[in-house]
Structure 1
C-alpha cells in the first residue's frame, strides 16, 4: 500500500482520489486550504482529508513526511510551492499543470531533489505528448506533427458552444499566454486563439486554434527533427471568434480576473462531455511520403459509484497511470521526467491507462 497526498479537493482531485483508492493499492489523503471544500469532497469511498494552507512554510511538508508521493490538482500558481515541499520532504512529485513557466521552475527544483519530479501528467499536456512522440518515433523523416485536444460538451447550449469542463483559470491562461511551436524548423512563439482551422471527425464539425501549454516538452524533444509542429485546442465552430472579441478586442486578457468572473457567471459546468484527442504526423517511411493519425474519443462515465465527466476521468487516469508506472519502477526513481519519455504501449497497458483505449462511455462499477 502506497501512501499518497493529493493537493486540491476540487472535481479532479475527487476523481483522482476515488480512482486511486478503488484500486486497493493506494492510501489517499486529500488536502485543501478550504474546510468547506473538503466537506463537499465528492468521493464514493472513505478518504482521509486535512485542512492545509500549502503557502504556509512547513505546513505541507508535515503532511508529506513519510509519504510516497504528492499529486498536485491545485491551481497552477501553487505548482512551485508544492514542488518545493516535495523536494524538502523527499517524496515523489506529480502535477497536472499546463503552465509553461511553472514547469520550468519544477525542472530546476528537480535538479537538486532526491526523488522523481513528473509534471504535466494530465491530458494536455500529458497523454497527447506521449501519443504524439510515440507516433513520431515510427517515421524515418518527419515533416509535420499536429496535436489536437478538446474537452467539449456533448450538448452545447450557448453561443460559445462550450461548457466549463475543467478549471476556468486554466482556460483563461491557455487563451492568453504565448504558444510554443516549431515553424520551418525553428522554435518560436505564436499567438493564442490564432490559426483557426476547420475539420470533421466522425461526422462532427470542429475548429482548432492555438492555445498555450498543451505541448509539454514536445517542441524541445523534436526540435531539429521536424519542420512544423503545433498544438491546438479543439472546440465547436464559432468559439474562437467570440473569445478573441472578449480577450483581445475588449482587452479582458489584461483583466483576467474579470474574464474569469464573466466565464464563471455565464457558463455552467457539465458532466455530459466528450474528450477528443487527435494526433496527425506526416513524413517519410521506407522511402514513401505518408500521413498517420491517432485519435480517441472518451465520454463521461463512472469511477466507482460517482458519475464523472470525461475530462475528469481522462485527467485523473493520466496522472494515476504515471504514478502507477513510477510505483512499479517502470520509470526512473529520481530526477526530472518528461511525458515524452513515457512509452505509449506501456501507458495503455496500465490498468488506469486503459481508459484511453476506450472510445465509448465507461460502465458503472457495481
Structure 2
C-alpha cells in the first residue's frame, strides 16, 4: 500500500519507520524541512520535498498514493484532508482540534475514500478504551477519561517538559471542552474542573482540555449521565498555566507564549504516558465500576530511542491504518475512533505497544 506521510517531525519519523519496517507499506515522507528529510533518507526511507502549506504543490505530490497519513501541526489538517479528497486518497491524522474534525467529517460525506482523524493517544486510543468499557454496561452512569504525557523527571516550576507539539498543547489549553453533564452535552471551560488523584504512589492533578473526547459526546449523547476528558499533570501546573494564559493575557498572544516555551522549556525523550479510564453503571442489576489504567514508558535502548509520546501516538495511527488495510474498519466515509474494537487494536502489531506497557494494578 502506497502511503504519503505528511510531516517529518519526531512523530512523523516514528510512523515512517514503523510502517516501512512492516514490509506492507511503501512510504514517502513529505515535508518542506530538508534537513529532517535528509535524516530519514539516510535511514533508507523515501522522501520528497513538498511545501505542505501550498495546496497545489501538495495535491500534485499526493496523486498516485493510496493513503495520506497526516502528522503535520493541527492547523494544517483541513487543507490536507481536502487535498487527500482531491487526490482520491484515504486520509488519517492525529488532530485534536474539534473544528478540524467537524470539517473533515463534512468532507467525508459521500466520499469514495475513508477519512479517519484523531488517531493518536487522546483523542484516539483513549476513546477506543472508553467506548469498549462503556458498551458492556446495561445502564451507563459515568465515564471519566484521563491522559497525561509527562516528563519522568520534572525539574521546573511547571513540572513539565515539551514532549510533543507546543502548538497542540496551547490549542487544547485555550478552547472550550465538550462534555456530558447530567445527561446534557455542554461546553466546559479549559483548565477548569481541577481534581487530584494518586496512582502508583504518585500525586497528579487533572483538568479540562479540549479535543480529547473525539466524537464520544455524539456517540453517547442521551445514553450516559456524565462523560468527560481531562489532561493529567503534576500538581501546580494548572495554576501556573492559568497565570500565563489569563492573568498575563497570553491566551490573546499565543505565538508569544509558544516562543517563550520553545526557548525556555527543554524537550525531553525521558517521559511517561499515563492512561486512566473509569466507567461506572449498572450490570445485571448491580452498580459496578471498571478501570483501565496503564503507564507507557520511553524506550531508551537501541539505535533509535523513542519517547513514550512517540510510541503511543505512532502506535495509534499505524494501528488504525493497519486495521483499515485488513478490512476491519469501514472502507469509505467518516470513521470514528470508537469503531475500532479494542481487542483488535491491542492484538495489532502496532497497537501491541499498549499491551507491552505496564498495567497499573492499584488505584489510590
When the two structures are superposed, what TM-score results if normalisation uses the length of structure 1?
0.95
Give, in whole Å, the separation in 2 of the partners of 1:200 and 1:252. Answer: 31
Aligned to 2:236, which of 235, 238, 241?
A: 238
Give, in whole Å, the separation in 1 of the partners of 2:280 and 2:318. Answer: 31
Native 8 Å contact 2:27 2:46 kept in 1: yes
Aligned length: 359
Native 8 Å contact 1:299 1:310 kept in 2: yes
Give, in whole Å, the separation in 2 of the partners of 1:94 and 1:303. Answer: 29
Aligned to 2:334, which of 316, 336, 355?
A: 336
Give, in whole Å, the separation in 2 of the partners of 1:162 and 1:359. Answer: 22
| C-alpha displacement of 1:302 | 6.0
Alignment match, 1:49: 47
Give, in whole Å, the separation in 2 of the partners of 1:349 and 1:44. Answer: 32
Native 8 Å contact 1:15 1:303 kept in 2: no
Alignment match, 1:174: 172
Give, in whole Å, the separation in 2 of the partners of 1:359 and 1:325. Answer: 21
CA deviation vs aligned residue, 1:210-239 (integer Å, no higher than 9, x gap): 000111001111110111111000001110
Native 8 Å contact 2:162 2:268 kept in 1: yes
What are the within-5 Å matches in structure 2 for residues 276-315 of structure 1? Answer: 276-301=274-299, 305-315=303-313
Alignment match, 1:36: 35
| C-alpha displacement of 1:58 | 2.6
Aligned to 2:352, which of 344, 354, 359?
A: 354
Say if 1:44 and 1:51 are closer, same or farther in 2 by CA, change over 3 A: closer
| C-alpha displacement of 1:288 | 0.7
Native 8 Å contact 1:22 1:304 kept in 2: no
Give the secondary structure class of the aligned counterpart of 2:37: helix
Give, in whole Å, the separation in 1 of the partners of 2:193 and 2:137. Answer: 26
| C-alpha displacement of 1:44 | 7.7
Alignment match, 1:59: 57
Give, in whole Å, the separation in 2 of the partners of 1:106 and 1:226. Answer: 26
Q: Which runs of 5+ in 2 are unaligned?
A: 360-364
Aligned to 1:121, which of 119, 122, 127?
A: 119
Alignment match, 1:9: 8
Alignment match, 2:362: none
Give, in whole Å, the separation in 1 of the partners of 2:224 and 2:190. Answer: 21
Give the secondary structure class of the aligned counterpart of 2:273: strand
Give, in whole Å, the separation in 2 of the partners of 1:221 and 1:285. Answer: 20
| C-alpha displacement of 1:103 | 0.6
Native 8 Å contact 1:123 1:314 kept in 2: yes
Alignment match, 1:18: 17
Say if 1:302 and 1:116 are closer, same or farther in 2 by CA, change over 3 A: farther
Give, in whole Å, the separation in 1 of the partners of 2:54 and 2:16. Answer: 24
Give, in whole Å, the separation in 2 of the partners of 1:57 and 1:254. Answer: 28
| C-alpha displacement of 1:304 | 6.8
| C-alpha displacement of 1:25 | 1.4
Alignment match, 1:364: none
Over the aligned positions, Cα root-mean-square deviation in angstroms equals: 1.5
Q: Which runs of 5+ in 1 are unaligned?
A: 362-366
What are the within-5 Å matches in structure 2 for residues 115-264 of structure 1? Answer: 115-264=113-262
Native 8 Å contact 1:179 1:190 kept in 2: yes
Native 8 Å contact 2:7 2:30 kept in 1: yes
Native 8 Å contact 1:44 1:304 kept in 2: no
Native 8 Å contact 1:148 1:232 kept in 2: yes
Moved beyond 6 Å, runs of 4+:
none
When the two structures are superposed, what TM-score results if normalisation uses the length of structure 2?
0.96
Alignment match, 1:79: 77
Give the secondary structure class of the aligned counterpart of 2:235: coil
